[in-house]
Amino acid sequence: MKFGQGQKVIITGASTGIGRAIALELAKAGAQLGLIARREELLSAIVNEIQTLGGKAFYRVADISERKETLIGISELINCMGGIDILIANAGVGAPTTIQPFNVETQEKMIKVNLLGVIYCIEAVLQTMLASGKGQIVAISSLAGFKGLPGESGYTASKAGLNTFMEGMRIQLRPKNIFVSTICPGFIKTPMTEVNDEKDMPWLMDAETAASIIIKAIQRKAKVLRFPWQTSLLMRIVGFLPDWLIERVMKKYNENPPMPKTPL
């Protein structure tokens, strides 16, 4: 059987970017989809597109940073689909960390979405998976989670926390026949990254290519995927660089950081 065919998959952050691309590819493969995001008009549009392709999809509007909304939305999707095989916790946000002013509210929102939001999603599916004795939990993290960077302290912290949380869950759920995967992409062309200058995003990849790579990793139940290899290698090298050099390289970025077009 083709991977995805007949499987029940819930995807968060499914209205744009990587989430949308994953949803469309899995729909073509015959998966039944439950989609979550904040903007109903975009969710409705992708569900209509999936139905046009002959696929089956449901959606619920929820802000992943809000626990109650997330639990209700995912619970309703599980009921609509009659179960769940795979959770893809893809929803994420990003914005620079500034020091004058020190934008604490922005850091709080990133941690709530990128870390706590994933935890809420896992809470929403875990008992169903444990009861059925099978399942797969996938979190879309980032290569940025492997190094604290000036001007990106909040974002890198949220992803580092996610990486270690998923690692612990992977080991804990191993004997329960629930597989856990952490996906760490580099720069992907999405609405979140469009405010950045492309020259500051080496080896930028389109969302459709990234989705294809991610789905293959999910299929083989990869523990951790870092891609593309060039950016992964670059981040490993950065980990050995002295602080003064990293500060100098990122000085221009921090003098005029690219802020999101809409509030987080």
As to burial, measured by CB atoms within 10 angstroms (0-12 exposed, 13-18 middle, 19+ buried), residue 197 is: exposed
Measuring CA to CA, how many Å separate 181 from each of 60, 100, 125, 164, 216?
24, 37, 15, 12, 12
Distance CA 31, CA 224 (A): 23
Residue 60 near residue 34 (C-beta atoms within 8 A): yes
Give me the residues paired with residue 37 across strands.
61
Q: What is the largest CA-CA distance in the chain?
A: 56
Beta bridge partners of 185: 227
Q: b vs e for 96-131, b when ≥16 Cβ sit within 10 Å of the residue's Cβ?
A: bbbeeeebeebbebbbbbbbbbbbbbbebbbeebee
Distance CA 211, CA 23 (A): 9
Which of 31, 218, 20 has the alpha carbon at shortest distance from 137?
218
Count CB neighbours of 218 within 10 A: 22
Residue 155 is a catalytic residue:
yes
Active-site entry in 59, 120, 155, 253: 155
List, by residue number, the catalytic residues.
155
